[in-house]
């Protein structure tokens, strides 16, 4: 027989568990009691308050090869086995994870063998997975809920029922309620009403009695103190009933609204009909007033199903990974991953794969993707229980000994769960002249990959920027480049070339191949360019404006000749370099027209249709400059231009416009189709070429010309081939 006693902290479940164990032992059972509470005081009445070595303390301080089950097992009254799981020090680690670790130890050493009855004393106002182990892992066959009539105690009992139903929705695991009286008001009526509402019997009613206090003063149970006491006889009789067997019930907790009505005395419980009775004859079914959803003058909120699978942005990896991938771009800082080895491997392998791929496939070396100073704490399950701050401190000082002056620490899930606080480590490092920036992603706690990058950006923007020490009026900052892009280096080179020809130096790239000195000297430049104007970019811009009074240029990195010319002219005016800007635009226009002349001979007059999710200014300009004859265009995403492209792409409007576009293509028979989604025309007409158009292109004066050159590769291609009509091949080899 395996029994779990759950209840709110301080409700008396440890006293009840110990007295129940003593009564079962007196009735001839071989009993093992396991205290599943960090306070580790569950079994003290069974062994007269002797010091017990908890399982977690034992695991922490004893090498695995030297561990023996008898070292954590103490024999108490009438041979009752006594075990305390224990927990980490208050405020550190994760007690729930500690319970999991303790049970793994008990299973490994076969501690349960030799006992006919096991009693688990479990903290019940914390309903995390660790404290649910006795139910979740099928250790406990019967669960008792200990409660008084106090509101918080009843709430805790209802929460425990929720947890058990979530873990075992179709099972019958609840033995009933143990009512532990506090001797206050009408609490008995409330407990009986709650029992009726959730369809459970009150199996044992324990009066408020000084006999319990006297026994506890003597550090023993009532059964040991005096088995003839009325209170002792209650437990002895209850033990006999348990040994004979008792019915079990399903968990039927009250809903949130029902619980609120119950605590206000407004939940009506009607006697169940014969058909509504549980198989065990419970006969109680809770029926809230106004089942239609309106009660007491307000409407009970109804749950709504997620009808639109595309209504939320999907996740692309955890925040820890995103923060690490950005942090490595600070060239002379060390990245300290406070994470398990598996998370570290995943992060390092991911961020370096881009550099390896560029080197092996294209012969290009991207130093930013080869971490120079990367360390990890490699925390494990034990650290999840007791906390891993000391590991982080040790690794940080190892980096300091290697000459590192700046550390960016990024936290994974386990430090977040165990509550590791690296702030004291940061303060200690500061006393040694080492600066640490802590990016609290806590694995997935901060969100997905993009949210992790955002948090790293924001942390360094708020904490790493120093006062202006060497102002340079002819310099500028570049903020928020797209670091993980095959075009990142080319885009920077194009913009940097424009700036250089204007006589403007790049002061800091935040954050892309930047040094700590660059970031600290961010304010030395009078202006900054926001490379991309999406939501995060605008948030960063606001941080720099609000915190430091920074000024930003009007434009982002430009695409196409027209926007690039405007970009250069505005910079020339801003930095009083108008003549240089005018000369740069004139020379670029000459080269642009020269390179475009050959392309015009290919594309001029070509009948063209366009299907895009939104308008692209560079494309409009290029189509005009090439002399394309646009005979039709469909841009269904225009009205939703601020939404993510994937969101409206799957809408009915998109499908309607796509089908209409396909019909128009068959009627007008264009020679060229420009589209961001080639699947809109899976079978183009004979002689028609479909050219995919990217949402973004490389930056600078000649970016659109580069795209047009790529288009020429599509012209003249024979799109029909065996891969387009593979049925004969399939029939030949597979049928």
Residues 432 and 388 in one domain: yes
Burial class (CB in 10 A: 0-12, 13-18, 19+), 152: middle
The active-site residue, picked from 51, 68, 108, 125, is 125
- The pair of structure tokens assigned to 600 is 């015009």
Residues 61 and 203 in one domain: yes
Instruction: Reply yes or no on whether 726 is catalytic.
Output: no
Domain contains 474: no
Please write the tens of the pLDDT for every residue from 38-87: 888 899 999 999 999 999 999 989 998 999 999 999 999 999 999 999 98
Instruction: Reply yes or no on whether 125 is catalytic.
Output: yes
478 bridge partner residues: 509, 529
Instruction: Reply yes or no on whether 533 is catalytic.
Output: no
Give the containing element (helix H, strand E) for 631. Answer: strand 629-634
Residue 293 pLDDT class (50, 70, 90 cuts): very low
pLDDT score for 639? 45
pLDDT score for 278? 36
Residue 268 pLDDT class (50, 70, 90 cuts): low
Domain contains 50: yes
The active-site residue, picked from 13, 395, 541, 699, is 13
The answer to whether residue 361 scores a pLDDT higher than 70 is no
- The pair of structure tokens assigned to 106 is 């008990």
Tell which of 411, 428, 463 closes a domain.
Answer: 463
Domain contains 579: no
For the chain, give the percent of residues with pLDDT over 70. Answer: 84
Residues 286 and 231 in one domain: no
Greater pLDDT, 426 or 279: 426
Residues 362 and 445 in one domain: yes
Burial class (CB in 10 A: 0-12, 13-18, 19+), 403: exposed
Mean pLDDT for 474-499 is 91
Give the containing element (helix H, strand E) for 299. Answer: strand 298-299
Domain contains 342: yes
Count of CA atoms in the C-beta half-sphere (13 A) of 507: 23
Count of CA atoms in the C-beta half-sphere (13 A) of 281: 2
Residues 342 and 431 in one domain: yes
The answer to whether residue 530 scores a pLDDT higher than 70 is yes
CATH at 393: 3.40.50.1980
Domain contains 623: yes
- The pair of structure tokens assigned to 96 is 């729930």
- Asked if 448 and 318 count as a contact pair (C-beta separation under 8 A), the reply is yes
The answer to whether residue 540 scores a pLDDT higher than 90 is yes
- Asked if 52 and 74 count as a contact pair (C-beta separation under 8 A), the reply is yes
Domain contains 542: no
pLDDT score for 365? 54
Mean pLDDT lowest among 42-46, 156-160, 188-192, 677-681: 677-681
CA distances (Å), 142 to each of 3, 118, 148, 171, 228, in order? 5, 11, 20, 11, 28
pLDDT score for 292? 37
Residues 349 and 377 in one domain: yes
Instruction: Count how many residues are written for the chain.
Output: 735
Rounded-to-integer distance, Cα 398 and Cα 392, Å: 10
The answer to whether residue 725 scores a pLDDT higher than 90 is no
Rounded-to-integer distance, Cα 357 and Cα 364, Å: 9
Secondary structure in 3-state letters for 146-159? EECCCHHHHHHHHH
pLDDT score for 296? 37
Residues 234 and 355 in one domain: no
CATH at 223: 3.40.50.300
Instruction: Reply yes or no on whether 296 is catalytic.
Output: no
CATH at 656: 3.40.50
Greater pLDDT, 285 or 176: 176
Tell which of 463, 481, 515 closes a domain.
Answer: 463
Residues 355 and 220 in one domain: no
Greater pLDDT, 159 or 485: 159
- Specify the number of domains making up the chain: 4
Residues 385 and 357 in one domain: yes
Residues 244 and 293 in one domain: no
The answer to whether residue 733 scores a pLDDT higher than 90 is no
Greater pLDDT, 652 or 403: 403
Residues 244 and 282 in one domain: no
- Token match 């942090």: residue? 327
Greater pLDDT, 734 or 581: 581
Nearest CA among 109, 112, 79 for reference residue 1: 112
Domain contains 209: yes
pLDDT score for 657? 75
Domain contains 365: yes
Residue 306 pLDDT class (50, 70, 90 cuts): very low
Residues 365 and 453 in one domain: yes
Residue 422 pLDDT class (50, 70, 90 cuts): very high
pLDDT score for 468? 95
Rounded-to-integer distance, Cα 611 and Cα 658, Å: 8
Q: Give the structural domain span for 37.
A: 2-253
CA distances (Å), 633 to each of 406, 612, 613, 636, 714, in order? 54, 8, 11, 10, 20
Tell which of 432, 448, 463 closes a domain.
Answer: 463
Q: What is the pairing mode between strands 298-299 and 294-295?
A: antiparallel
CA 304, 307, 312, 317 dihedral sign is: positive
Rounded-to-integer distance, Cα 660 and Cα 666, Å: 10
Please write the tens of the pLDDT for every residue from 199-249: 999 999 999 899 999 999 999 999 999 999 999 999 999 999 999 999 999
Q: Output Rg (C-alpha) for the chain, integer angstroms.
A: 35
The active-site residue, picked from 8, 395, 541, 577, is 8
């Amino acid at each position: 027989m395996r029994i779990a006693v759950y209840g709110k902290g301080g409700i008396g479940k440890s006293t009840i568990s110990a007295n129940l164990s003593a009564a079962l032992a007196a009735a001839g059972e071989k009993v093992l009691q396991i205290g599943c509470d960090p306070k580790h005081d569950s079994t003290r009445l069974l062994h007269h308050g002797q010091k017990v070595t908890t399982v977690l303390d034992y695991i922490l301080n004893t090498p695995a090869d030297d561990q023996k089950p008898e070292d954590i097992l103490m024999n108490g009254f009438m041979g009752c086995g006594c075990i305390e799981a224990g927990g980490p020090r208050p405020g550190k680690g994760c007690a729930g994870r500690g319970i999991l670790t303790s049970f793994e130890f008990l299973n490994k050493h076969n501690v349960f063998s030799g006992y006919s009855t096991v009693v688990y004393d479990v903290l019940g106002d914390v309903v995390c997975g660790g404290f649910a182990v006795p139910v979740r892992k099928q250790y406990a066959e019967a669960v008792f809920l200990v409660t008084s009539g106090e509101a918080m105690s009843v709430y805790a009992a209802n929460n425990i029922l929720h947890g058990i139903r979530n873990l075992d929705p179709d099972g019958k695991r609840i033995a009933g309620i143990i009512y532990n009286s506090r001797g206050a008001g009408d609490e008995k009526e409330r407990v009986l009403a709650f029992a009726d509402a959730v369809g459970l019997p009150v199996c044992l009613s324990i009066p408020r009695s000084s006999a319990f206090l006297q026994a506890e003063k003597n550090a023993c149970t009532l059964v040991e103190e005096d088995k003839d006491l009325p209170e002792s006889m209650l437990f002895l009789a209850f033990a006999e009933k348990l040994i004979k067997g008792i019915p079990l019930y399903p968990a039927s907790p009250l809903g949130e609204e029902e619980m609120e009505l119950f605590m206000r005395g407004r939940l009506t419980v009607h006697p169940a009909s014969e058909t509504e009775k549980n198989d065990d004859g419970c006969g109680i079914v809770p029926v809230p007033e106004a089942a239609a959803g309106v009660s007491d003058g307000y409407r009970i909120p109804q749950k709504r199903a997620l009808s639109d699978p595309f209504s939320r942005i999907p996740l692309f990896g955890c925040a820890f990974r995103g923060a690490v991938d950005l942090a490595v771009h600070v060239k002379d800082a060390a990245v300290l991953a406070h994470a398990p080895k598996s998370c570290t491997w995943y992060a390092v392998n991911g961020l370096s794969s881009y550099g390896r791929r560029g080197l092996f496939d294209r012969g290009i070396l991207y130093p930013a993707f080869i971490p120079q100073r990367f360390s990890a704490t490699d925390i494990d399950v034990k650290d999840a229980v007791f906390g891993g701050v000391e590991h982080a401190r040790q690794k940080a000082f190892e980096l300091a000994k290697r000459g590192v002056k700046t550390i960016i620490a990024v936290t994974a899930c386990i430090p977040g769960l165990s509550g590791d606080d690296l702030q004291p480590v940061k303060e200690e490092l500061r006393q040694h002249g080492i600066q640490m920036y802590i990016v609290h992603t806590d694995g997935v706690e901060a969100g997905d990959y993009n949210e992790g990058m955002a948090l790293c950006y924001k942390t360094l923007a708020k904490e790493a920027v120093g006062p202006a020490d060497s102002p340079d009026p002819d310099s500028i900052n570049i903020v928020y480049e797209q670091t993980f892009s095959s075009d990142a280096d080319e885009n920077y080179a194009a913009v940097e070339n424009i700036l250089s020809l204007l006589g403007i130096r790049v002061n800091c790239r935040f954050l892309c191949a930047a040094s700590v000195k660059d970031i600290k000297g961010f304010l030395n430049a009078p202006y900054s360019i926001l490379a991309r104007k999406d939501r995060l970019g605008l948030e960063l811009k606001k941080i720099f404006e609000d915190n430091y009074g920074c000024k930003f240029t009007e434009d982002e990195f430009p695409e196409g000749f027209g926007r690039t010319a405007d970009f250069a002219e505005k910079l020339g005016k801003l930095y009083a370099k108008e003549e240089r800007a005018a000369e740069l635009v004139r020379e670029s226009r000459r080269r642009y027209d020269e390179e475009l002349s050959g392309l015009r001979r290919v594309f001029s007059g070509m009948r063209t249709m366009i299907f895009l999710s939104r308008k692209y200014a560079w494309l409009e300009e290029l189509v005009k400059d090439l002399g394309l004859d646009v005979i039709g265009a469909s841009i269904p995403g225009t009205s939703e231009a601020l939404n993510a492209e994937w969101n409206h792409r799957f809408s009915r409007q998109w499908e309607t416009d796509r089908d209409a576009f396909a019909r128009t293509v068959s009627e007008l028979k264009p020679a060229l189709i420009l589209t961001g989604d080639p699947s809109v025309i899976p079978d183009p007409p004979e002689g028609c070429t479909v050219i995919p158009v990217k949402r973004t292109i490389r930056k600078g004066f000649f970016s659109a010309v580069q795209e047009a050159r790529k288009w020429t590769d599509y012209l003249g291609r024979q799109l029909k081939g065996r891969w387009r009509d593979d049925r004969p091949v399939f029939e030949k080899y597979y049928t």
